[in-house]
Structure formats: C-alpha cells, structure tokens
C-alpha cells in the first residue's frame, strides 16, 4: 500500500480547469488499478491532495435541486460568478476567494475501503484544525460537513463537503470558509438546507486568519488521521 501523498497547491484556479485536472488524476489511478487486475500486477497507485482557491463559483451536486440557486444567468454575470452542475454528491455550494478548498484524490485501497469513515475523517481533520483557533466544530446528523452550535437556533455551517468515488478512488472534497465573503451564500440555499446559516473563521474570530497556516494545520491532522507516510510537494 502506498501511503505517500503528492501535495499540490494550485493557487487561484478556475473551477472547470481544476475539475478536469482532478478527473484526469482520478482516471490515471483507475487505469493502473484496472491494468493491475487484468494482468495480475501490483503496480502502486498514486494519491494526491490539491489545495486551491476558486474565483466566485456555484456548484450543484448530481442529486441537487437547481431551485436552490437563487440567481439567473444575468445576475450570475453581474456578480462575477459562474455555475456548474457537477458529479459529486450533495446539493449546491459556493466557492470563492478566502476559502480553503481541499481535493484529496486518494486510492482508498491504500488506506481503508469505507466511504463513511472517509467522510468522518475529513470532518475530523477540519474539526481539529478550527479547534486550534478556539472554534468548536461538530457534526450534524445526516448533514455532511462541519457545523457550529448544532441543536441551537444559531446553528451555522463553516465547512461544506461533497465527494465522488470510482473504484475506491476519491475526488472533490471540502471547502472551509476561512476568510470567505459570506454575502455570496445569500444567493443560494446552501446544501439545500433551509433555515441554517453559514459562517467563517474570520466571522467567528472577528479577524482574518493566515490561510497558509490553516492549510498546514489541516495537513497535520489529515496525516495523523489517515496514517499518511509523508506529503511530497508536487508542482
């Protein structure tokens, strides 16, 4: 099993370009797995972790409801935003500047073959990260992601998650609202869940956070939870 992960920070990158890049990485891993099984080989498969920051964009999961987007094409253009219907689970969400987006493209057969456990570990990495800033994150039963003050009238979401997997290879991932402009969430019903607000680390702490510092903390906790051998920086 290969528990090394190739780490790439793509900086600010168009959503569709990043989606295509993820799909290409996933397909290359799947091709190795298919070839191994057909020819009784044991070629190792790669694992990747991408950090990225997207220009303003709304994405709708495969089971999502388009009515949860509250803008028409003209209004999207006026806000400098784009929209994509994509192949991850979940409903609608927003990505934009100041948000830390992470896309682990892992062959789970290198780690464990359990999608439920994978999602819980993603959540736990974020919960442990924001705890270092004094923010108490938690889960909401039946609603993937990381929340604050669940069970109160002030419940709010700080990190959205949605994934796709093929032959135990994952893509898509999480979006942590670090210094994101929360006004853009007013144009959707986030994740299709009415009556629950969104928040950010900046809003909770009343100050901006250092994005690079937060990324390093995420990687630290991810490495422990997934028992990663090492992250290898890949350009």
Active-site residues, by number, are: 191
Q: Which two tokens stand for residue 157?
A: 């979401």
Give the C-alpha separation, 168 to 187, whole Å.
Answer: 34
The values of phi and psi at residue 4, to 5°, are -90, 145
Give the C-alpha separation, 235 to 9, whole Å.
Answer: 8
Q: In 3-state terms, what secondary structure has residue 11?
A: strand
The values of phi and psi at residue 177, to 5°, are -75, 100
SS (H, E, C) 42-110: CCCCCCEEEEEECCCEEEECCCCCHHHECCCHHHHHHCCCEEEECCCCCCEEEECCCEEEEEEECEHHH
Give the C-alpha separation, 9 to 51, whole Å.
Answer: 5
> How many residues make up the chain in this entry?
235
Q: Are 18 and 10 in contact (CB under 8 A)?
A: yes
Give the C-alpha separation, 235 to 86, whole Å.
Answer: 26
């Amino acid at each position: 099993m290969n528990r090394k992960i190739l780490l790439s920070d793509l900086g600010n990158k168009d959503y569709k370009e990043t989606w295509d890049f993820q799909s290409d990485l996933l397909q290359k891993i799947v091709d190795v797995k298919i070839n191994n099984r057909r020819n009784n080989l044991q070629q190792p498969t790669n694992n990747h972790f991408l950090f990225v920051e997207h220009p303003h964009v709304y994405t709708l999961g495969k089971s999502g409801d388009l009515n949860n987007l509250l803008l028409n094409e003209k209004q999207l253009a006026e806000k400098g935003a784009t929209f994509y219907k994509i192949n991850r689970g979940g409903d609608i969400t927003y990505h934009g500047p100041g948000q830390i987006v992470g896309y682990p493209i892992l062959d789970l057969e290198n780690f464990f073959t359990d999608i439920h456990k994978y999602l819980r570990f993603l959540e736990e990495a974020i919960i442990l990260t924001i705890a270092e800033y004094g923010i108490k994150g938690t889960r909401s039963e039946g609603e993937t992601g990381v929340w604050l003050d669940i069970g109160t009238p002030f419940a709010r979401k700080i990190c959205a998650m949605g994934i796709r997997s093929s032959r135990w290879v994952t893509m898509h991932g999480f979006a942590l609202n670090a210094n994101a402009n929360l006004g853009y969430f007013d144009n959707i019903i986030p994740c299709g869940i009415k009556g629950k607000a969104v928040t950010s680390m900046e809003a909770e702490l009343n100050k901006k956070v250092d994005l690079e510092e937060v990324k390093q903390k995420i990687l630290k906790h991810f490495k422990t939870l997934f028992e990663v051998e090492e992250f290898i920086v890949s350009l």
